[in-house]
């Protein structure tokens, strides 16, 4: 295979997308012990990615070597590989980037009279000069993937790329609170971290003052394992895992094991579908963890998974318990404990006015439509049980409400009047850098749905109106949820996609007690939907047990 081809294939593993370039360059700056790192992206990194640091710099004699494959100054022996302390160690990033872009590098080490400047095109140095520079390194990447049309074509939209880059920098800012980061996206300051050394300051910058104040420090040491960070009380949760960050020896990692450990610590404290907010940094001897699992170095393998899981779970759990937040959260989510609540709500049903219980829901002629239903009660604070003309009907309250909300959001498009609820007091929303980057691309769709967001400086917006069907709910968090979903690339940007997320987020959850009136209202509204039997994702909203089936189950009939 020609070298050119093989190096491009290898490059693809390291530089998948502009944000992976951002990640590799910032990791190099961090390995160089920089305390100030300034990042800039133009056209989501396609036109320019520039990272400037005040780190140790590269000695003039080493500049060309840095661009050679597998050349790294960070490890020298196999022994070192077992004891990796730096973020980089494979010596692949710079050559891989140089294979798919033009690279300009200027660097200078402390005490040197002059620094070096090189320009690389097609992986080769085409210009070299000596130039003065303060100690540190600036590297500018231009025309990324321009000789790599296949990769170029598959890039998601520009705002998705920006949002990924913002996420990368946000995570490193959380992991390195002593470093001051700034990120310019298309000439706009997306993020600046103070470098004060206090991770709480970074949280305030990224997630706003409420979380900055409310999060509780974790600090636990077990043998050679140190777990530090911040966790939020269970009363503050999110619908996704976007606010969970895990670092191993200050490397940002995605670890299902650590996710499960966090889930376990919050078990019983969070309602269904909600996730904890946590920032955890795990320090352990480098030989107890393998970071060389994948070229992107985002996966890790722990030597002792069991004890790692237990240590993290217990650290978070004891922190929550200690601060008496757990008990407060228990109280807040007590409506989520299914067993006790369901008996209660069924019993309460008995004392309700009989006229309610026996009023059948009028049925329409639509074939997909629901038969007349007599509501019997709620079980497991999740399902509504009803009797129909032929047996028993079990309705998933969340799925049903999701369908109703989705239809209301979408039907407005079809010529009907926009049902928008203006807010008397506009709601101030502070977006994270990643959410903010994605908003630009869906502003119009958001407006069509009824969310009016007015810029209010920086990453702040005033929410002036919401879709009427969502009025009274937590509209700000619905907006956030939509943007978060998009920034992760997990949802499409069509109106339908946005409406799906909004509906799922705003719908009543499993675990929520419904009054008889609420149940009846739910069924009446479901009845009016054109496709009442499935939720927008296509899952059933209602399951029917016919009398025949029941008879069979009871052995009354063969
Ligand atoms: P790795 O980080 O795995 O060693 P890279 O290809 O990312 O490999 O970088 C190659 C080498 O270039 C590094 O080992 C380091 O010596 C040098 N280098 C790259 N970026 C910087 C920087 N910002 N400051 C100082 N040295 C750097
Ligand atoms: Mg590197």
What is the CB < 6 Å shell around ligand 1?
A: 24, 28-29, 32, 53, 55-58, 66, 72-74, 88-94, 137
Model confidence pLDDT, tens digit, residues 465-502: 998 888 877 888 889 888 888 887 666 778 888 888 89
* Nearest by Cα to 371 from 359, 356, 361: 361
Nearest CA to ligand 1 atom 20: 28
Which residues, other chains included, contact 315 with Cβ-Cβ below 8 Å and sequence gap of 6+? 218, 220, 222, 227, 265, 280
Helix (H, G, I), strand (E, B) or coil at 356: helix
- 123: region left, alpha or beta (phi > 0 left; psi from -120 to 50 alpha): left
Which pLDDT does position 393 carry in this prediction? Answer: 93
Complete edge-to-edge strand list for the sheet that includes strand 48-53 = 124-131, 115-121, 102-108, 136-142, 48-53, 36-42, 180-185, 188-192
How far apart are the C-alpha atoms of 449 and 413, rounded to whole Å?
8
Q: Does 303 have pLDDT greater than 50?
A: yes
Return mean pLDDT, the chain: 83
Report the separation in Å between the CA atom of 110 and the middle of ligand 2, taken as the mean of its atom positions.
20
Span 367-392, average pLDDT: 88
Which pLDDT does position 237 carry in this prediction? Answer: 87
**Spatial contact of 510 and 382, defined as CB atoms under 8 Å apart:** yes
Which pLDDT does position 340 carry in this prediction? Answer: 31
Q: Does 365 have pLDDT greater than 70?
A: no
Span 46-62, average pLDDT: 96
Which pLDDT does position 351 carry in this prediction? Answer: 32
Q: Does 205 have pLDDT greater than 80?
A: yes
Residues facing 385 on adjacent strands: 377, 394
Report the separation in Å between the CA atom of 309 and the middle of ligand 1, taken as the mean of its atom positions.
33
| From 356-365, 464-473, 508-517, the region with the lowest mean pLDDT | 356-365
Residue 24 tokens read as 């590799």
**Spatial contact of 332 and 274, defined as CB atoms under 8 Å apart:** no
Nearest CA to ligand 1 atom 18: 28
Which pLDDT does position 339 carry in this prediction? Answer: 31
**Spatial contact of 494 and 444, defined as CB atoms under 8 Å apart:** no
How far apart are the C-alpha atoms of 343 and 309, rounded to whole Å?
36
Which pLDDT does position 389 carry in this prediction? Answer: 85
Nearest CA to ligand 1 atom 15: 73
**Spatial contact of 519 and 378, defined as CB atoms under 8 Å apart:** yes
Model confidence pLDDT, tens digit, residues 275-288: 999 999 999 998 88
Model's pTM, two decimal places? 0.68
Residue 114 tokens read as 């002059």
Confidence of residue 344 (pLDDT cuts 50, 70, 90): very low
Q: Does 350 have pLDDT greater than 50?
A: no
Residue 205: DSSP 8-state: H
Q: Does 359 have pLDDT greater than 50?
A: no
Nearest CA to ligand 1 atom 14: 72
Q: Which ligand 1 atom minimizes the distance to the CA of 55? A: 24
Residue 75: nearest ligand to its CA? 1
Report the separation in Å between the CA atom of 32 and the middle of ligand 2, taken as the mean of its atom positions.
10
* Nearest by Cα to 168 from 493, 487, 491: 487
Residues facing 39 on adjacent strands: 51, 183
Residue 137: nearest ligand to its CA? 1
Taking the CA atoms of residue 59, residue 64, residue 65 and residue 70 in that order, the dihedral angle to the nearest 10 degrees is: 130
Please identify which residue in the block is written with the tokens 């079990």: 394
Nearest CA to ligand 1 atom 10: 66
Span 371-400, average pLDDT: 92
How far apart are the C-alpha atoms of 99 and 65, rounded to whole Å?
15
* Nearest by Cα to 301 from 347, 256, 352, 351: 256
Long-range contacts of 202-211 (CB under 8 A, 24+ apart): 202/173, 202/174, 202/177, 203/174, 203/230, 203/279, 205/173, 206/170, 206/173, 206/174, 206/432, 206/433, 207/243, 207/277, 207/430, 207/432, 208/430, 210/236, 211/236, 211/243, 211/277
Residue 71: nearest ligand to its CA? 1
The proportion of the chain whose per-residue pLDDT surpasses 90, expressed as a percent, equals: 45
């Amino acid at each position: 295979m020609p070298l050119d081809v093989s190096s491009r294939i290898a490059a693809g593993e390291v530089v998948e997308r502009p944000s992976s370039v951002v990640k590799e360059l910032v990791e190099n700056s961090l390995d160089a012990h920089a305390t100030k790192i300034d990042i800039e992206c133009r056209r989501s990194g396609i036109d320019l990615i520039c990272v400037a640091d005040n780190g140790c710099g590269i000695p003039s004699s080493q500049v060309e070597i840095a661009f050679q494959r597998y050349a790294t100054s960070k490890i020298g022996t196999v022994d070192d590989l077992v004891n990796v302390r730096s973020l980089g160690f494979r010596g692949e990033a710079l050559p891989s980037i140089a294979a798919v872009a033009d690279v300009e590098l200027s660097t200078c080490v402390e005490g040197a009279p002059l620094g070096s400047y090189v320009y690389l095109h097609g992986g080769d140095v085409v210009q070299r000069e000596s130039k003065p520079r303060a100690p540190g390194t600036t590297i500018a990447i231009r025309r990324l993937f321009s000789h790599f049309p296949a990769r170029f074509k598959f890039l998601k939209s520009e705002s998705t790329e920006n949002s990924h880059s913002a996420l990368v920098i946000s995570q490193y800012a959380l992991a390195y609170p002593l470093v001051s980061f700034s990120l310019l996206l298309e000439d706009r300051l997306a993020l600046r971290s103070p470098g004060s050394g206090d991770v709480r300051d970074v949280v305030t910058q990224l997630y706003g003052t409420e979380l900055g104040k409310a999060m509780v420090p974790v600090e636990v040491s077990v043998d050679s394992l140190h777990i530090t960070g911040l966790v939020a009380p269970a009363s503050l949760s999110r619908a996704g895992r976007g606010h969970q960050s895990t670092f191993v020896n200050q490397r940002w990692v995605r670890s299902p094991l650590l996710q499960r450990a966090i889930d376990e610590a919050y078990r019983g404290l969070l309602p269904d579908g909600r996730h904890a907010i946590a920032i955890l940094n795990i320090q352990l001897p480098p030989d107890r963890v393998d970071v060389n699992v994948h070229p992107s170095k985002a996966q890790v393998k722990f030597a002792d998974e069991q004890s790692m899981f237990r240590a993290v779970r217990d650290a978070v759990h004891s922190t929550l318990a200690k601060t008496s937040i757990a008990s407060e959260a228990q109280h807040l989510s007590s409506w989520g404990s299914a067993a006790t609540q369901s008996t209660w709500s069924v019993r309460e049903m008995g004392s309700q006015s009989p006229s309610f219980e026996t009023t059948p829901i009028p049925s329409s002629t639509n074939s997909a439509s629901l038969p007349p239903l007599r509501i019997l009660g709620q079980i497991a604070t999740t399902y509504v049980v009803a009797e129909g003309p032929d047996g028993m009907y079990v309705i998933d309250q969340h799925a049903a409400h999701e369908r109703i909300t989705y239809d209301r959001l979408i039907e407005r498009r079809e010529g009907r009047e926009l049902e928008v609820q203006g807010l008397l007091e506009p709601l101030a929303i502070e977006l994270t850098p990643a959410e903010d980057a994605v908003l630009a691309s869906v502003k119009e769709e958001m407006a069509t749905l009824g969310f009016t967001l007015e810029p209010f400086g920086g990453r702040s917006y005033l929410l002036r109106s919401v879709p009427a069907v969502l009025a009274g709910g937590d509209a700000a968090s619905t907006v956030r949820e939509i943007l978060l979903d998009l920034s992760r690339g997990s949802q499409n940007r069509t109106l339908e996609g946005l409406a799906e997320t909004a509906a799922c987020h705003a719908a009543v959850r499993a675990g929520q007690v419904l009054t008889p009136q609420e149940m009846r209202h739910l069924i009446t509204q479901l009845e009016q939907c054109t496709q009442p039997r499935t939720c927008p994702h296509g899952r059933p909203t209602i399951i029917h047990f016919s009398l025949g089936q029941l008879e069979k189950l009871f052995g009354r009939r063969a």
